[in-house]
């Protein structure tokens, strides 16, 4: 049984890249019968906001990703400080009073003009706590290779020359990410750390901390990154990739989870999965090394497939949640559960999202509808054709009689016969009926339309 975690920073909305990390951790926990811990990493006191914590919780619940334990790092500062003091006592950490300007000045004297990337160890060995502003740094010790096995990338080697004595405790009296995460992952007994490959350097730093503190090192799986079509990395600053965006767009949570799961994981050539299938199939050895590319068109295609296969009660539930989220209300016959079920069964085949379904369904749910400009132009064209005008009255009568009786057997044959008798193509006669019934030039088959409208068909014809 795996014990894994999703540890977002509440500095913005949950976006697709971070959600991918959540999905992989959740699926692996469910696949192994393990546990997912949700940990809010809010040590950045200036940027963390409670509203983002709330939105992360909402997004995960909407996607159906439950967690077994919940923590906020801001509640655990005393724990981190105790371990920081322990490292100081062990001689594995030291106090540092250097400022950025100090380092720049020292580098100038050495002839180094490049941008500062690493600390030079000036305060290393300083055990006396300064009175003024200071930080606590980890002493990485002598140069050596840090080697670890990654589930995705295999054996990884990082030399400490590539690192520096990184800060454990900041001048604002808060822990750094690299320090707090090791304490939490150890005390919370994480078995696997599944996160983006941009953390590989952090992993090397953190392994030193694991060793110094005598903590067992968990298994690591560094995921490929997710890029946009323009080859830029997805960011939480892009509103179009926030989970909230997809919810308001009318994407089904199961479909979004399906799409996200395929960004860096595969099960043969299959594209469409139910949630139980994802849980059954998801293993870390199927994670890909190559970066994933986000494609909104592909995501909408996946959603359309789920729209067609989801059971109607579940679709109705999501439809209601979508309307509430979008601030819209059911109109006309949408409030009738039986009518909605019939309409959804017919109309979902032609709609890619809940938003599309709502707009399409309005034409059938309301007594009045607006005719599209395309339909108006086509109506004028059909009205000018003698054969269509000749066949229409009898076709209208046949449609009204069928809708009044509820017996639609033989209606299509009747309409075909009328078209043939008038010397007009069946499609043109049906198009005239379609426009008068829906105000659109495109709809489900005409029998389904008449069946859906029921007795309302007579008023429209």
Based on the fold, state whether residues 96 and 212 are members of the same structural domain: yes
Q: 180 lies in a domain?
A: yes
Q: What is the pLDDT of residues 240-264, one digit of tens each?
A: 789 999 999 999 999 999 999 999 9
287 and 361 both lie in a single domain: no
pLDDT at residue number 367: 82
Q: Look at residue 106 in the predicted model and tell me its pLDDT.
A: 85
Are 202 and 240 in the same domain? no
Residue 91 pLDDT:
96
403 is a domain residue: yes
Same domain? For 190 and 103 the reply is yes
Q: How many domains does the chain have?
A: 4
pLDDT number for residue 117: 65
Residues 94 and 138 occupy one common structural domain: yes
In a domain, 245, yes or no: yes
pTM score of the predicted model: 0.91
Check whether residue 212 and residue 80 sit in a common domain.
Answer: yes
pLDDT at 177: 96
Q: Is residue 56 part of a domain?
A: yes
Convert the pLDDT of each residue in 198-244 to its tens digit: 999 999 999 999 999 999 999 999 999 999 887 788 765 555 789 99
Instruction: Please say which residue of 365, 381, 401 terminates a domain.
Output: 365
The predicted structure's pLDDT at residue 193: 99
CATH label of the domain that carries residue 130: 3.40.50.620
22 and 46 both lie in a single domain: yes
User: What CATH number should be reported for the domain holding residue 314?
Assistant: 1.10.8
- Residues 398 and 330 placed together within one structural domain of the fold: no
Does 104 lie in the same domain as 216?
yes
Q: Are residues 93 and 217 in the same domain?
A: yes
Does the residue 305 lie in any domain? no
Q: What per-residue confidence (pLDDT) applies to 348?
A: 96
Positions of the chain with pLDDT lower than 70, given as ranges: 111, 113-117, 235-239
Range of the domain at 17: 3-73+226-300
Residue 291 resides in a domain: yes
- 169, part of any domain: yes
User: What is the CATH classification number for the domain harbouring 389?
Assistant: 1.10.10.350
Same domain, 296 and 192: no
How would you write the chain as a 3-class SS string?
CCEEEECCCCCCCCEHHHHHHHHHHHHHHHHHCCEEEEEECCCCCCCCCHHHHHHHHHHHHHCCCCCCEEEEHHHCHHHHHHHHHHHHHHCCEEEECCCHHHHHHHHHHCCCCCCCCCCCCCCCCCCCCCCCCCEEEECCCCCCEEEEEECCCEEEEEEHHHCCCCEEECCCCCECHHHHHHHHHHHCCCCEEEEEHHHHHHHHHHHHHHHHHCCCCCEEEEECCEECCCCCECCCCCHHHEHHHHHHHCCCHHHHHHHHHCCCECCCCCCCCCHHHHHHHCCHHHECCCCEECCHHHHHHHHHHHHHHCCHHHHHHHHHHHHHHHCCCCCHHHHCHHHHHHHHHHHHHHCCCHHHHHHHHHHHHCCCCCCCHHHHHHHHHHHCCHHHHHHHHHHHHHHHHHHHHCCCCCHHHHHHHHHHHHCCCHHHHHHHHHHHHHCCCCCCCHHHHHHHHCCHHHHHC
353 and 414 both lie in a single domain: no
């Amino acid at each position: 049984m795996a014990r894994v975690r999703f540890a977002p920073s509440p500095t913005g909305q949950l976006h697709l890249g971070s959600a991918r990390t959540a999905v992989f951790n959740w699926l692996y926990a469910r696949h192994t019968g393990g546990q997912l811990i949700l940990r809010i990493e809010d040590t950045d006191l200036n940027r963390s906001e409670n509203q983002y914590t709330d939105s992360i919780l909402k997004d995960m619940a909407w996607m159906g990703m439950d967690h077994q334990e919940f923590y906020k790092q801001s509640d655990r500062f005393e724990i981190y400080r105790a371990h920081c003091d322990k490292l100081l006592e062990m001689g594995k950490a030291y106090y540092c009073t250097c400022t950025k300007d100090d380092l720049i000045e020292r580098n100038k004297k050495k002839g180094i003009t490049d941008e500062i990337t690493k600390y030079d160890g000036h305060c290393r060995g300083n055990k006396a706590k300064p009175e003024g502003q200071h930080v606590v740094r980890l002493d990485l010790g002598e140069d050596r290779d840090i080697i670890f096995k990654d589930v995705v990338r295999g054996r990884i080697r990082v030399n400490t020359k590539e690192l520096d004595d990184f800060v454990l405790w900041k001048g604002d009296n808060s822990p750094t990410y690299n320090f707090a995460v090791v304490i939490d992952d150890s005390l919370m007994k994480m078995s696997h750390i599944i996160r983006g490959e941009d953390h590989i350097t952090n992993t090397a730093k953190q392994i030193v901390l694991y060793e110094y503190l005598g903590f067992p090192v968990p298994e690591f799986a560094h995921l490929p990154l997710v890029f946009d079509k323009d080859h830029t990395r997805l960011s939480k600053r892009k509103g179009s990739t926030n989970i909230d965006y997809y919810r308001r767009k009318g994407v089904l949570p199961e479909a979004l989870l399906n799409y996200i799961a395929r960004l860096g994981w595969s099960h043969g050539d299959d594209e469409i999965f139910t949630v139980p299938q994802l849980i059954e199939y998801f293993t870390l050895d199927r994670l890909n090394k190559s970066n994933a590319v986000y494609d909104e068109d592909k995501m909408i295609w996946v959603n359309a497939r789920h729209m067609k296969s989801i059971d109607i009660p579940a679709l109705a539930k999501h439809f209601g949640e979508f309307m509430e989220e979008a601030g819209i209300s059911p109109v006309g016959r949408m409030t009738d559960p039986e009518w909605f079920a019939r309409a959804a069964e017919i109309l979902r085949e032609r709609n890619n999202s809940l938003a599309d379904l709502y707009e399409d369904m309005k034409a059938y749910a309301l007594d009045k509808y607006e005719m599209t400009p395309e339909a108006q132009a086509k109506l004028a064209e059909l009205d000018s054709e003698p054969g269509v005008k000749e066949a229409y009255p009898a076709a209208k009568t046949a449609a009204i009689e069928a809708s009044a009786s509820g017996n639609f057997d033989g209606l299509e044959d009747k309409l075909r016969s009328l078209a043939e008798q008038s010397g007009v193509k069946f499609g043109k006669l049906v198009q005239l009926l379609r426009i008068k019934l829906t105000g659109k030039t495109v709809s489900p088959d005409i029998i389904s339309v008449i069946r859906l409208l029921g007795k309302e068909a007579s008023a429209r014809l």
